[in-house]
Amino acid sequence: HPVTRHGVSAFSSSVTGEVLAATRAGVSLGAVTAREVGLAVEAVHAVATGQTGDMVAADALDLVDVEVLFRSGEEIGRRLAEDGLVCLGEVGIGNTTVAAALACALLEMDVDESVGLGAAADAAIVRRKRAVVAAALKRARATHGKRLCQPEVALAAVGGPEIAFLAGLTLAAAGARAPVVIDGLVTSLAALVAVRIEPAVQSALVAGQRSRELAHGRVLAELGLEPLLQLRLRAGEGVGACLAAQMVLAAVRSRQATATVEEQCVETDRR
């Protein structure tokens, strides 16, 4: 994310590409966790084709890119839904700053309520994150006015390509009646965007975990979801979603293998 130029992350923006490469190689934390619980992995490089801004001086995306990313997410979401349950994960250096700004735009939260530590941040980084989010929201509200509460406009103003992509994926997968397990704050915001567009999506969502990000609890409450896990993870990459999916799949298998009361009665009569 271009917003990293403002010193809001403890890591270089190049780490995004490194984690993506490790995921494709099957050795990132997210990929390994998925494999351990029996899930297949698909890594997608969601990137805008047009000019991207840093949120502070200019919109993060233009509306055309939001639409393109959304549609590409829908295409993959429909395909993944054919295999059943879908788990979401993400990686994008700087995206907890983006997510905090987007949460403020969609839920009218205060900056101090939304900006969290992210990964490995110190007090100075958090102070910069708060200042950046405040400046980005001030500019976005001056530019877009009341339209900022619209999901597509908010994504363009203070969002990111991975969030637009995952929102489209969530909408399509849910529309195909596949359960969608969300992970941390970023994937939860993608789900919130999808629900704002089509409220029926909510019925397909499973909250895998609640992370340590400040805004995450508020977003989950807005979605009407209770997390299956509360491990205070900062990993991202879908780790919490995969761990929660293991619980969901185990419960489904147990239910499928359990005899009904009627079947138990028949077996007793035979004896």
Give the residue numbers marked as catalytic: 237
- Asked if residue 201 lies in contact with residue 80, where contact means CB atoms within 8 angstroms, the answer is no
CB-based burial label for 50 (10 Å; 0-12, 13-18, 19+): exposed
C-alpha span between 242 and 264 (Å, rounded): 34
Sequential DSSP letters for 172-213: HHHHTT--EEE-SHHHHHHHHHHHHH-GGGGGGEEE-B--S-
C-alpha span between 69 and 170 (Å, rounded): 12
Q: Where are the beta strands (DSSP E) in 66-149?
A: 86-87
| Owner of token pair 């399509």 | 172
